[in-house]
Amino acid sequence: LNCCIYLTDRTLKSLRSCGALEELILRGNKNFSDEGMLKILPSLRRLRDINLGCTELSDRSLVGIIEYCPLLEAVDVCFARNVTVTGLMRLFTDLDGQCPNIVNVGMSGIEGITDVVLSKMLAFRP
């Protein structure tokens, strides 16, 4: 579904029947919302890799991913306009909790990431 300009909250709903899905690439899609994402996440508990780069999603979706995708190994939010350092910190501080398997986080283009912030994030990783 990479760069699928016709993907909306309504069409995103169809993913609720894809419970065995392990990889989801929604990069570049700007026509769906946090609300749509949060409605499908409870059905995607086997997800291991999610790419939300260049979307309009926010920290709300990131928190939902942490809550509903315990097997997640990789998350990409590069250039996701509404994801903030606060949301990323939440992800990093929860790595040993609900998402202990995350080894790859793409976060290029997120405003406010400094060396100090990166040091704090990495401090939560053994």
Bridge partners of 35? none
- What is the pLDDT at residue 6? 77
SS3 82: strand
- What is the pLDDT at residue 43? 96
Return the percentage of the chain with pLDDT > 90, whole number: 53
Instruction: Note the pLDDT tens digit of each residue in 93-116.
Output: 766 677 788 888 899 998 888 887
What one-letter code names the amino acid at 91? L
Name the token pair of 36: 């749509």
